[in-house]
């Protein structure tokens, strides 16, 4: 996973709430067994509409979306598709819980910012469509001077900024896992189930 | 020790290493073909084994065809082959199509007795919340997390908040768990449960069978919640006893003692409480493009003008445009093209029995195509032994093989653009059952009634 200390670029506005992962990447593309190449299928059905907002922002690095972005299905393909399409950051008032984790594990930064603060960005962005999202300083900056601080838990920040292999980090606690297993009996044994 | 919620008891028992996030031990990992190939590839790339193969089980459900014959879609076939190959290579037990044990992953877990009270259960599928009906902490995860669990049998997790959905009143005759949960989602909202684990409580909940409780927990994610749970009781224990993976003999007695302690202590506090009175509940039907857009069957399609919040208004306008519904239309006047009885929400044996009871001696309305997709090979077999297949087929329903089928339309079972479907599944998102398809969620009895009438109708008034 490539590290993401900071992202600067133009912003795509997707002005609606409750965008579910079925829209971000429809089911017919979940049959692929690869992890890459989903960008061309991003918002596949919505993209067929020439009026769809995303057509107005080619090359955007940051997606500014409505509340509850990425709700619904757990398909990580949604995060892969956004990242493969070229987004490094999604800013929204809130995220579906599973999507949020998937995004972090994909190196796509899910940045939660209250709607009233997002509103402060509208005018500056209309004048000049550019933002910097600084994951080390935990700050969004517009070149005209608007700054918005955001919260990101330390674990997600570390994962994103360092591009960490989360499994390697957990395996550093292998002694603890061994100890837990030694102290707690196994609940089921699937191998022992009769055929 | 201070008083604790059911959730907190299960959480505390699985913390390997405390912190934010905590490292949580996983007792049972369910795997299917769609969200696992990239996870196994990740293990291969790093030379990592599956840490606990005896706690990991795989099945084929999402893209399997429900008609007899080979898998003709080359991409689906490659994905199923990949699962078979990965399970062989990593030593994971696979209940493949044709094994007699296959089915929708959230149907076979409880059916085999694998899902048990007090366990932590994960799966690369958002409807993993289903297993919470047994008093487990069960939640959906992404593919990177699937890889994480395969490699470490643990997951880093921030501790969620708790929400109590307290059902009160007596559920009117003829209504079901599906009506209860659709109504609850309408009240909580599809993001209302975000960051929370829901515990469902109350007399009407206690009165439900295990299968009804599974329907409710299944749809926790549709309220945005991480998981849903029900404290285990005698209904739970009676359901589990004798299932293939359930404990036996002295182990069973010991397990019962531990399971009886799995309840929220008096005085333990939830971060949030929502009271849902079901005393006056009517059968529910969704009219929009998310599960929170729901109304009683005797209601009408809402008018966007009635919503003061501009964002809500535009969401409703957009939904009605997609659904091709005019404001003020009585739901009973909405005609349907297709009926789907299936999915991890409503394809267990009781669901099929309820639907069959409505259908018996009646015919599917002219112009309506209706199908039943049992939740597992075992459910299918049991239904056939009970004569339900005959009931459905002689009414004009198609009787299919087990799988996820038209809940998400990854296999050939899809709606054509513009088709309107009465569906017992869990999501009515745009295009969910096929691009341009229009989905209305409802209970198995209500789906059966719609099949017979050709439009939505209160099953209790079916002539």
B258 and chain A in contact, CB less than 8 A: no
**B96 contacts in chain A (CB < 8 Å):** none
How far is A127 from A107, CA to CA, in rounded Å? 29
Least CA distance to B292: which residue of chain A? A18
B112 and chain A in contact, CB less than 8 A: yes
Q: B194: which DSSP letter?
A: B
- Tokens representing B309 are 């919040």
Nearest to B144 among A32, A96, A105 (CB): A105
Give pairs for B326-331: CB < 8 Å, separation 24+: B326/B301, B327/B300, B327/B301, B327/B302, B327/B303, B328/B300, B328/B301, B328/B303, B329/B300, B329/B301, B330/B298, B330/B299, B330/B300, B331/B285, B331/B287, B331/B295, B331/B297, B331/B298, B331/B299, B331/B300, B331/B301, B331/B456
B211 and chain A in contact, CB less than 8 A: no
Nearest to B140 among A27, A45, A74 (CB): A74
- Tokens representing A132 are 């910097």
Q: Using one digit for the tens of pLDDT, what is the confidence trace for B36-57?
A: 999 999 999 999 999 999 999 9
The pLDDT-based confidence of A195 (bands split at 50, 70, 90) is confident
Contact between B339 and B447 (Cβ < 8 Å): yes
**B243 contacts in chain A (CB < 8 Å):** none
Per cent of chain B over pLDDT 70 is 100
- Is the pLDDT reported for residue B266 higher than 70? yes
How far is A74 from B420, CA to CA, in rounded Å? 25
Tokens 């398809």 found at: B437
Instruction: Please answer yes or no on whether B34 and A31 come within 8 Å at the CB atom.
Output: yes
Instruction: Please answer yes or no on whether B148 and A166 come within 8 Å at the CB atom.
Output: yes
Size of interface A-B (CB pairs under 8 A): 196
- Is the pLDDT reported for residue B1 higher than 70? no
- Tokens representing B94 are 């696979």
pLDDT at A186: 82
pLDDT at A187: 83
Nearest to B315 among A18, A76, A194 (CB): A18
What are the φ/ψ torsions at residue B178 (nearest 5 degrees)? -65, -40
Instruction: Please answer yes or no on whether A76 and B119 come within 8 Å at the CB atom.
Output: no
Instruction: Please answer yes or no on whether B82 and A33 come within 8 Å at the CB atom.
Output: yes
The pLDDT-based confidence of B152 (bands split at 50, 70, 90) is very high
**B16 contacts in chain A (CB < 8 Å):** 173, 176-177, 180
How far is B160 from B225, CA to CA, in rounded Å? 9
Q: Using one digit for the tens of pLDDT, what is the confidence trace for B297-349?
A: 999 999 999 999 999 999 999 999 999 999 999 999 999 999 999 999 999 99
Contact between A150 and A138 (Cβ < 8 Å): yes
pLDDT at A194: 84
**A31 contacts in chain B (CB < 8 Å):** 34, 63, 73, 75-76, 78-79, 410
pLDDT at B125: 98
Contact between B338 and B415 (Cβ < 8 Å): yes
**A74 contacts in chain B (CB < 8 Å):** 35, 124-126, 140-142
Q: What is the pTM of this model?
A: 0.98
Instruction: Please answer yes or no on whether B427 and A73 come within 8 Å at the CB atom.
Output: yes
**A189 contacts in chain B (CB < 8 Å):** 54, 245
Q: Using one digit for the tens of pLDDT, what is the confidence trace for B14-42?
A: 999 999 999 999 999 999 999 999 999 99
pLDDT at A185: 86
Contact between B336 and B440 (Cβ < 8 Å): yes
Instruction: Please answer yes or no on whether B190 and A68 come within 8 Å at the CB atom.
Output: yes
Rg (CA), chain B: 21
Least CA distance to B75: which residue of chain A? A31
Mean per-residue pLDDT over chain B, rounded: 97
Q: Using one digit for the tens of pLDDT, what is the confidence trace for A123-154?
A: 999 999 999 999 999 999 999 999 999 999 99
Residue B110 falls in which region: left (phi positive, over 0), alpha (psi -120 to 50) or beta: alpha
The pLDDT-based confidence of B441 (bands split at 50, 70, 90) is very high
**A177 contacts in chain B (CB < 8 Å):** 16, 23, 25, 152-154
pLDDT at B297: 98
Instruction: Please answer yes or no on whether B73 and A184 come within 8 Å at the CB atom.
Output: no
Distance from CA of B42 to the nearest CA of A (A): 10
Contacts with A158 (C-beta within 8 Å, 6 or more apart), sequence order: A164
B417 and chain A in contact, CB less than 8 A: no
Contact between B156 and B22 (Cβ < 8 Å): yes
Instruction: Please answer yes or no on whether A98 and B141 come within 8 Å at the CB atom.
Output: yes
Instruction: Please answer yes or no on whether A192 and B54 come within 8 Å at the CB atom.
Output: yes
Residues 354-383 of B with CB under 8 A from A: none
- Is the pLDDT reported for residue B119 higher than 70? yes
More confident residue, B424 or A195: B424
Q: How far is CA A52 from the centre of its chain?
A: 21
- Is the pLDDT reported for residue B463 higher than 80? no
Cβ of B462: how many Cβ atoms within 10 Å?
15
**B191 contacts in chain A (CB < 8 Å):** 18, 67-68, 71, 94
Instruction: Please answer yes or no on whether B142 and A167 come within 8 Å at the CB atom.
Output: no
Nearest to A33 among B38, B55, B314 (CB): B38
Q: Using one digit for the tens of pLDDT, what is the confidence trace for B355-383?
A: 999 999 999 999 999 999 999 999 999 99
Average pLDDT over residues A62-72: 98
Q: Which of A75-84, A180-189, B25-34 has the lowest mean pLDDT?
A: A180-189
pLDDT at B399: 98
């Amino acid at each position: 996973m490539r590290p993401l200390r900071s992202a600067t670029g133009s912003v795509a506005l997707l002005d609606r709430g409750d965008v579910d992962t079925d829209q971000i990447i429809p089911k017919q593309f979940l049959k692929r067994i690869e992890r890459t190449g989903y960008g061309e299928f991003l918002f596949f059905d919505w993209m067929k509409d020439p009026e769809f907002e995303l057509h107005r922002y080619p090359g955007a690095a940051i997606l500014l979306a409505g509340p509850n972005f990425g709700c619904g299905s757990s398909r990580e393909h949604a995060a892969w598709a956004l990242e493969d399409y070229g987004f490094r950051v999604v800013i929204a008032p809130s995220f579906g819980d599973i999507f949020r984790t998937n995004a972090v594990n994909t190196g796509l930064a899910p940045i939660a910012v209250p709607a009233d603060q997002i509103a402060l960005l509208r005018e500056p962005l209309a004048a000049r469509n550019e933002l910097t999202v600084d994951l080390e300083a935990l700050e969004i900056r517009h070149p005209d001077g608007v700054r918005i601080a955001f919260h990101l838990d330390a674990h997600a920040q570390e994962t994103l900024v360092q591009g960490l292999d989360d499994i390697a980090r957990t395996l550093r606690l292998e002694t603890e896992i061994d100890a837990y297993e030694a102290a707690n009996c196994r609940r089921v044994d699937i191998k022992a189930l009769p055929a | 020790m201070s008083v604790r919620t059911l959730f907190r008891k299960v959480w505390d028992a699985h913390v390997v290493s405390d912190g934010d996030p905590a490292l949580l031990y996983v007792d049972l990992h369910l795997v299917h073909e769609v969200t696992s190939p990239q996870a196994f590839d990740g293990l291969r790339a790093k030379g990592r084994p599956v840490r606990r193969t005896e706690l990991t089980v795989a099945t084929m459900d999402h893209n399997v065809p429900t008609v007899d014959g080979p898998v003709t879609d080359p991409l689906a076939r490659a994905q199923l082959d990949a699962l078979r190959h990965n399970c062989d290579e990593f030593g994971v037990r696979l209940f493949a199509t044709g094994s007699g044990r296959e089915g929708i992953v959230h149907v076979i877990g409880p059916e085999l007795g694998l899902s048990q009270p007090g366990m932590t259960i994960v799966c690369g599928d958002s409807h993993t919340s289903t297993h919470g009906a047994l008093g487990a902490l069960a939640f959906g995860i992404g593919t990177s997390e699937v890889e994480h669990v395969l490699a470490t049998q643990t997951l880093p997790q921030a501790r969620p908040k708790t929400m109590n959905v307290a059902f009160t009143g007596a559920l009117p005759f003829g209504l079901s768990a599906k009506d209860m949960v659709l109504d609850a989602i309408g009240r909580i909202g599809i993001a209302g449960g975000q960051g929370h684990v829901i515990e469902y409580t109350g007399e009407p909940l206690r009165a439900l069978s295990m299968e009804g409780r599974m329907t409710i927990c299944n749809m926790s994610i549709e309220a945005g919640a991480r998981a849903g749970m029900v404290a285990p009781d005698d209904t739970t224990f009676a359901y589990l006893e004798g299932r293939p993976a359930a404990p036996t003999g002295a182990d069973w007695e010991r397990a019962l003692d531990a399971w009886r302690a799995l309840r929220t202590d008096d005085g333990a506090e939830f971060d949030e409480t929502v009271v849902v009175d079901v005393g006056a509940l009517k059968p529910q039907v969704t009219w929009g493009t998310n599960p929170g857009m729901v109304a009683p069957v005797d209601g009408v399609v809402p008018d966007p003008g009635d919503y003061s919040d501009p964002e809500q208004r535009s969401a409703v306008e957009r939904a009605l445009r997609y659904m091709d519904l005019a404001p003020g239309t009585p739901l009973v006047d909405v005609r349907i093209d297709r009926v789907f009885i299936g999915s991890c929400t409503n394809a267990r044996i009781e669901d099929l029995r309820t639907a069959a009871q409505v259908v018996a001696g009646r015919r599917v309305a002219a112009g309506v195509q209706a199908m039943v997709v049992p939740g597992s090979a075992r459910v299918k077999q049991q239904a056939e032994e009970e004569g339900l297949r005959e009931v459905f087929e002689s009414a004009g329903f198609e009787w299919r093989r087990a799988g996820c089928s038209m809940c998400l339309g990854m296999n050939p079972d899809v709606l054509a653009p513009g088709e309107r479907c009465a569906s017992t599944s869990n999501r009515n998102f745009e295009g969910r059952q096929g691009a341009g398809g229009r989905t209305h969620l409802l209970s198995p009895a209500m789906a059966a009634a719609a099949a017979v009438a050709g439009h939505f109708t209160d099953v209790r008034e079916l002539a």
